[in-house]
Amino acid sequence: MQALLQQTAAMAAAYLRELPDRRVAPSEEAVAALAGFQEPMPEEPSDALAVIERLHRVGSPATTGMPGPRFFGFVIGGSLPAALAANWLATAWDQCPGLFIASPVATALEEVALGWLLDVLRLPAGSGAAFVTGATVANFTALAAARHTVLAKAGWDVEADGLFGAPPIRVVISEEAHPSVIKSLGLLGLGRSRVQRVPVDGQGRMRAAEMPRLNGPAIVCLQAGNVNTGAFDPAAEICARAKDAGAWVHVDGAFGLWAAASPELAHLVAGVEQADSWATDAHKWLNVPYDSGLAFVRDPMMLRGAMSLVAPYLPRGEHREPSLFTPELSRRARGVDIWAALVSLGRSGLAEMIERNCRQARRFAQGLRAAGFAILNNVVLNQVLVSFGDAARTHEVIRRIQEEGTCWCGPTEWQGQTAMRISVSNWSTTDDDVDRSIAAIVRCAGV
Ligand SMILES: Cc1ncc(COP(=O)(O)O)c(C=O)c1O
C-alpha cells in the first residue's frame, strides 16, 4: 500500500507540474487513445500499481486542464494544495461523516468549517448547513427546507403527506434563474414551468419592481452571481418585498456568494444576508477538489425538518449529526478539504484570491476591448462575455482557441447575442496567464 500510494503521488505531482505547460484541451490522439479502455471486464485480478500506471498513461493526457491556470470555461476552480492533500488524507481515512459516532473527526471539522463559512460569507451565525455535491443539490436541499417551512406555516406536513392536496405554493424566480434552480423545483414537485418569472435588466438582474404581489405560501429565488455576467439581483429590495409578505427567500450564490469574503466586493452581496437560505459551491471559488457544494438555512430546524431520517441502528448523540441535514446518509467527508482550504488561505488569502480573479477578469476585458472586440457585460465579478462579431464568427474563434490550446473558453448566448465566456476562478492563475491567453485569443480571432 505504501509504495503504491507513494508512486501514485509521484504520478499526480508530475501531472500537476506539467499542467501549466501542456495544451489545456487534450489532443485528439489522447482522446482517441481512450478507446483502449473499451474492453471486456477482466476475468482475473490485476496488480494495483499496473492499474494506476495505465490510468496515468492513458487517462492523464485525456484530461482537460481544468485545475490549471488557463482554464476559463464554465465556472471551474482548481484545487488549492492544502485542499487537495487534505482530500487525499480524508480518502485514506475513508470516513462516512453522517453521524458523530461514526466519524468524530469528519463531523468536528465540518462543524468548525460551517462556523467559519458563515462568518466569512457574512451569513447569520447559527444557520444550519448541508455539505453536498454541488450547487445543484444545494439549491435542491435549501428549497426542500423552504417547501417544508412555507407548508408547515399553512398547516401542512409535506414530508408526511406529500404535495397531494397541499396548499399551493407560489414560486417566483427571475428570467435568468440558473437551470439548476428550475431542475430543483421540478424534483421537489413544485414544477419546472409552474413558476412566475420576473423580467431582468441588461445585466440579467431581476427587476424587483416587477415582482408579483405575494400572499400565502411563497418562495422567491434570487441570484448572487449570474452565470454569464456575474451580476447580482438587488437582494435588499427583493428581501424587503418578500419578507413583508411572509415569503421564503432563497439565494443561488454558486460562485457569487464568495464576493462576501472580500471587503472590496462585499457591497455586491448587500442584503443577501436577509434571505432564509443560500446555496454555494466550494469546488468553484474556494478551490477545493470536486465535488463540494453547500446549502445554508437560517433556521437549522427547518433544514432538519426536511432532511432528517430515523432508524434504530443510527444512534444520535449530543453533537450535531450531519445526516439530519443532508439528502444523503452516506457521503464523503467534504468538511475536511473545506477546513484545510480555509486554514491554508486564512481570511486575507481568501479575499486576495477572490479579488485577484476579479482583477484578472477586468484585465481580460481591457485587453480584448483594446484589441477591438466587444465586451457584452459590465465586469463586476469574475465573468467576461466577448463577442467577435456574428454568431458564426464567435463560434469559430472559440473553436480555434480550444484547438490552439493556450487556454480554454466556452460559448454562451447572452440576450440574443453569441458570446465567448471567460470565467476566472482559479487560485493559480497569474497575470501572465491572462496576458498569454489574451494574446492567443487575439491571434485566433485574427487568423
Ligand atoms: C449560478 C449557478 N447556480 C448553480 C450552478 C450549479 O452548480 P453545480 O454545477 O456545482 O451543481 C451553477 C454552475 O455553474 C451556477 O453558476
- Determine the distance separating the centroid of ligand 1 and the alpha carbon of 180, expressed in angstroms: 7
Task: Give the mean pLDDT of 366-385.
Answer: 98
Asked if 28 and 100 sit in the same domain, the reply is: no
Domain that holds residue 27: 2-68
pLDDT band for position 317 (50/70/90)? Answer: confident
Residue pair 289/125 in contact (Cβ under 8 Å)? The answer is: no
Domain boundary among 296, 318, 341: 341
Asked if 111 and 47 sit in the same domain, the reply is: no
Residue 126 domain-assigned (yes or no): yes
Task: Give the mean pLDDT of 193-206.
Answer: 98
136 lines ligand 1 (CB under 6 A): yes
Asked if 97 and 238 sit in the same domain, the reply is: yes
Q: Looking at the CA of residue 291, tell me the nearest atom of ligand 1.
A: 10
Residue pair 295/132 in contact (Cβ under 8 Å)? The answer is: yes
176 lines ligand 1 (CB under 6 A): no
The three three-digit cell numbers of residue 378, written as one number = 459590465
Asked if 97 and 51 sit in the same domain, the reply is: no
Residue 142 domain-assigned (yes or no): yes
Task: Give the mean pLDDT of 160-168.
Answer: 98
Residue 444 domain-assigned (yes or no): no
Q: At which residue does the C-alpha cell 484585465 appear?
A: 363
Asked if 151 and 265 sit in the same domain, the reply is: yes
Query: Can you give the pLDDT at residue 316?
Result: 85
Residue of 389, 367, 359, 366 lying closest to 436 (CA atoms): 367
Percent of the chain clearing pLDDT 70 (strictly above): 100
Beta strands 248-252 and 218-223 are parallel
pLDDT single digits (tens) 320-338: 999 999 999 999 999 999 9
Residue 222 φ then ψ, to 5°: -120, 175
Residues 6+ apart with CB under 8 A from 313: none
Residue 391 domain-assigned (yes or no): no
Pocket test for ligand 1, best of 76, 180, 280 (most atoms within 8 A of CB): 180
CA distance from start to end of the chain: 52
Residue 313 domain-assigned (yes or no): yes
Asked if 247 and 279 sit in the same domain, the reply is: yes
Name which residue leads in pLDDT, 267 or 447. 267
Residue 362 domain-assigned (yes or no): no
Measured CA distances, 90 to 13, 85, 97, 150, 338 (Å): 18, 9, 11, 38, 11
Asked if 90 and 64 sit in the same domain, the reply is: no
Beta strands 383-387 and 374-375 are antiparallel
Residue nearest (by alpha carbon) to ligand 1 atom 15: 254
Task: Give the mean pLDDT of 154-170.
Answer: 98
Residue 377 domain-assigned (yes or no): no
178 lines ligand 1 (CB under 6 A): yes
Asked if 223 and 321 sit in the same domain, the reply is: yes
Asked if 215 and 331 sit in the same domain, the reply is: yes
135 lines ligand 1 (CB under 6 A): yes
pLDDT single digits (tens) 257-280: 999 999 999 999 999 999 999 999
Domain boundary among 341, 356, 390: 341
Note the helical H segments in 33-80: 48-54
Has residue 96 got a pLDDT over 70?
yes
Asked if 49 and 91 sit in the same domain, the reply is: no
| pTM value surpassing 0.85 | yes
Measured CA distances, 165 to 168, 203, 254, 358 (Å): 9, 39, 33, 48
Number of domains forming the structure of the chain: 2
Query: Can you give the pLDDT at residue 318?
Result: 87
281 lines ligand 1 (CB under 6 A): yes
Residue 188 domain-assigned (yes or no): yes
Domain boundary among 341, 373, 392: 341
CATH number assigned to the domain comprising residue 288: 3.40.640.10
Asked if 133 and 282 sit in the same domain, the reply is: yes
In the predicted model, what is the mean pLDDT of the chain? 97
pLDDT single digits (tens) 277-308: 999 999 999 999 999 999 999 999 999 999 99
Has residue 447 got a pLDDT over 70?
no
113 lines ligand 1 (CB under 6 A): no
Asked if 196 and 335 sit in the same domain, the reply is: yes
Task: Give the mean pLDDT of 231-246.
Answer: 96
For residue 26, the 8-state DSSP code is: P
Query: Can you give the pLDDT at residue 427?
Result: 98
